[in-house]
Structure 1
Amino acid sequence: MVYLAVLVLAATLLLAIYAYRRPAQSQPPSIIPTSPNLHKEDDIVPVSVNYFFTRKCNADCKFCFHTAKTSYTLSLRKAQSGLSLLAAAGMKKINFAGGEPFLYEEYLGKLCRYCKEDLSLESVSIVSNGTKVTEKWLKVYGSAVDILAISCDSTNPETNKNIGRKDRDSGKAFDNVENLFQIKEWCQQYGIRFKLNTVVCSLNWQESMAEMVEKLDPFRWKVFQVLVVVGENENDARKRDATKFVITDAQFEDFCSRHKHLKCMIPEPNKAMKSSYLLIDEYMRFLDKGDGDEKVSDSILKVGVQKAIKQVRWDQEEFHNRGGVYDWNSAAEKTNSCAGVSKDKKLEW
C-alpha cells in the first residue's frame, strides 16, 4: 500500500510539472480595457467600424463600390486580433459586410460571437443580400447579433435583375420581397433588429416602395444615393461601372419625397456618405472612399490603429451630423418606426 501511495504521489507531481511547463494553448486575443486614460489626447476613437472581411459575393450588383478585386480573407485568429485592437482603441459598434458575409457562415458567426461575448461590444450588425441567411444560423449565432440589414432596391424582379441583384451563376433574379418577410419574421423570433437598405439609381428612382416598406416595418430604412468610387466602380475598366446608374441630386430627392411619410426612412445622399464612414477591408486596412481616388492605409495588424486611421480621412463632424451614434443594440426600445412614432433621423450603418 505504501508503494502504491508513492506511485500515485509521483504521478501527481509529474502531471503538475508537465502542466506548468506546457505552452498555453492558442486563445483568441484578449481585449485591453478601454478606459479613457489609455488613450492619448490626439488619438482618434473609431467608435463605429464597417469591416468588409470578404469581397466575394454571389450577386452581381452593377454599382457595387467594394468589388471582388481579391478573394483574400484573413484567418479567424488574425481577424480577431484586428477586432481586439479596434475595441482597445474605443470601438463600440462593428458592422460586418462584404461581398456577401454569409458565404462564410461559420467564420461570420464566430466573429459575431467574439465581438459580443469576448470584446463586449455594444452593437454587432451585419449587412447582407439575404439569400444565404438561414434560421439554422440565427438559432446558433443570433444572440450575438443586434442588427441584421438586408438589401433590397426594388419590388420589381426585372428591375432587380437589371441592377444585378441576381445569382451570379444562374442569372436568376433574387426573390427579394418574399425573402425579406421571412428574414423579418426570424429577426423578431430571435430578438434581432431588422433593417432595410436601398440604393437609389437610374433604374429605380421613380419607383414607389412605400407599400412594401410599411408592411415590412423595418427598424430603419436606409436609402442611399448610388455612389461612384474611383478605383472600384468608375468605368468599364473596373469590374463594375456605376456611372451608368448615376442619378442627379434632384432625382434622389424626388424618390425620398415620395416616401417621406415613412418615419423609418433615413436618406443618405452622396455628400453625407463621403468620408463619414470608417471602413476596414479584408487586410484590416482603413479605406477612404471620399472624393478622388480611393485611399488605403497600412494594416492595423502591422502599424496599429492610430497610425493607420490617420493615413485616411474620416470626417468625424459629418459622422456625428448624420447621427452615426444612436441606440444601436438589440436591447434598445423596439418601436413601430414606419408608423411614425419617432421623428428622430439618426443614422446607422
Structure 2
Amino acid sequence: MKKINFSGGEPFIVKKRTFVGELVKLCKQTLGVESVSIVSNGSLVSERWFEQYGEFLDILAVSCDSFDADTNEKIGRQQGQKSHLISLRSVRRLCADYKVAFKLNTVVNTHNKDENMVEEIMQLNPCRWKCLLIDGENTGPDALRRAESFVITNAEFDEFLRRHKDVEYLVPESNEKRLYNLFETNPRVENVLNFSGFDEKMFFKRGGKYVWSKADMQLDW
C-alpha cells in the first residue's frame, strides 16, 4: 500500500484525537506507507496533536465550503460557538509550523456556487484544492442522506470552475469522477480492487495519483 487516508465522520473525535494519531504513526513508522493523510473539519485539531504526531502525517485536508460565516451556517459547517473559518486558519498555520502539507476540500452546492473564493484560497495556498459535487449516496430515492436541496447542475459546477480557473492547484471532481473519491489507494492492490468497483483508468483520470508524500513535495513551509 502506498497511500492511506483517514476520514469520517470526524477522525479526531475518537479517544480525544489520540486514536487517529496512533494510526498515522503506525502507518508511517511501522508500515512505511508512502503517504498518510487525514480529512477533517479542523475543529478538534490542536498544536499538542501536531507535536506528537505531525512528523508522521503527510497531508491534512480540511473541509471548507465557504468563506462567509452565514453561508457556512446554512450549509452546516458552523462549529457551535467556534468559528469554522478561525479553525481553518489555525490549522493552516499549524501545518506550516509542523511541515504537514495542507489541502482544502470544497463541496460546491446551492449555497456557495456563486461565491468567488479566489482571494481566500490564494492566501491559504494549499497544495491541492479539491472541488466536488454532491451525488451518489446523497441523492435519489435510495439516498442515505436527504441532500437534494444542496445539489447543483453540471453547468453551475462548470461556471464555478471557470470563476476559479486561475487557481493552479484546483482539482475538480465531476459526478462521473466522484464515484472514486473515497478510494484513494495503490491501484496495483488487485486482490482487493477486483471486488471494490475500482476503475484504474478513472483513478488516473481524476488525478488520483499525484505527489502525495511531503518528502517529495517542494513546499515553502
TM-score normalised per structure 1: 0.58
The 3 A distance-change label for structure 1 pair 174 and 153 is: farther
The 3 A distance-change label for structure 1 pair 107 and 326 is: same
Alignment: residue pair count:
215
The residue number in structure 1 matching 2:11 is 101
Give, in whole Å, the separation in 2 of the partners of 1:156 and 1:221: 18
The residue number in structure 1 matching 2:136 is 228
Do residues 113 (structure 1) and 25 (structure 2) align?
A: yes
What is the one-letter code of the residue matched to 2:129? W
Q: Kindly state the Cα deviation for residue 332 of structure 1 after the two structures are TM-superposed.
A: 2.0
Give, in whole Å, the separation in 2 of the partners of 1:196 and 1:275: 18
**Of 38, 46, 61, which residue of structure 2 is paired with 1:149?**
61
Do residues 264 (structure 1) and 182 (structure 2) align?
A: no
**Of 214, 237, 247, which residue of structure 1 is paired with 2:152?**
247
Give, in whole Å, the separation in 2 of the partners of 1:140 and 1:227: 37
Do residues 92 (structure 1) and 40 (structure 2) align?
A: no
Give, in whole Å, the separation in 2 of the partners of 1:320 and 1:208: 29
Give, in whole Å, the separation in 2 of the partners of 1:279 and 1:259: 25
1:147-191 CA deviation, whole Å, 9 max, x = no partner? Answer: 000010001111111111134xxxx37522222221111111111
The 3 A distance-change label for structure 1 pair 136 and 225 is: same
Give, in whole Å, the separation in 2 of the partners of 1:333 and 1:316: 24
Choose 1 or 2 for highest CA Rg.
1
1:42-63 CA deviation, whole Å, 9 max, x = no partner? Answer: xxxxxxxxxxxxxxxxxxxxxx
Superposed counterparts of 1:76-87, under 5 Å = none
Superposed counterparts of 1:1-349, under 5 Å = 91-104=1-14, 105-167=17-79, 172=80, 175-229=83-137, 233-234=138-139, 240-275=145-180, 277-278=182-183, 308-335=192-219
The 3 A distance-change label for structure 1 pair 238 and 321 is: closer
Give, in whole Å, the separation in 1 of the partners of 2:24 and 2:219: 25
1:130-150 CA deviation, whole Å, 9 max, x = no partner? Answer: 000000001000011000000
Q: Kindly state the Cα deviation for residue 222 of structure 1 after the two structures are TM-superposed.
A: 0.7
What is the one-letter code of the residue matched to 1:326? Y
Q: In 1, are the aligned partners of 2:110 and 2:152 still within 8 Å (CA)?
A: yes
Give, in whole Å, the separation in 2 of the partners of 1:277 and 1:223: 14
Q: What secondary structure sits across from 1:102 in the alignment?
A: coil
Q: In 1, are the aligned partners of 2:71 and 2:111 still within 8 Å (CA)?
A: yes
Q: What secondary structure sits across from 2:171 in the alignment?
A: strand
Q: Give the share of equivalent positions with the same residue, in percent.
A: 40
Give, in whole Å, the separation in 2 of the partners of 1:140 and 1:225: 35
Give, in whole Å, the separation in 2 of the partners of 1:123 and 1:183: 19
Q: Kindly state the Cα deviation for residue 210 of structure 1 after the two structures are TM-superposed.
A: 1.0
TM-score normalised per structure 2: 0.89
1:41-90 CA deviation, whole Å, 9 max, x = no partner? Answer: xxxxxxxxxxxxxxxxxxxxxxxxxxxxxxxxxxxxxxxxxxxxxxxxxx
The 3 A distance-change label for structure 1 pair 306 and 332 is: closer
Q: In 1, are the aligned partners of 2:78 and 2:84 still within 8 Å (CA)?
A: no
Q: In 2, are the aligned partners of 1:276 and 1:316 still within 8 Å (CA)?
A: no
Give structure 1 stretches of 5+ with no counterpart. 1-90, 281-304, 337-349
Please give the root-mean-square deviation of Cα atoms over the aligned residues, in Å. 2.2
What is the one-letter code of the residue matched to 1:209? M
Q: Kindly state the Cα deviation for residue 315 of structure 1 after the two structures are TM-superposed.
A: 1.0
Q: Kindly state the Cα deviation for residue 262 of structure 1 after the two structures are TM-superposed.
A: 0.8
Q: Kindly state the Cα deviation for residue 115 of structure 1 after the two structures are TM-superposed.
A: 0.3
Give, in whole Å, the separation in 2 of the partners of 1:217 and 1:327: 16
What is the one-letter code of the residue matched to 1:149? A
The 3 A distance-change label for structure 1 pair 112 and 318 is: same
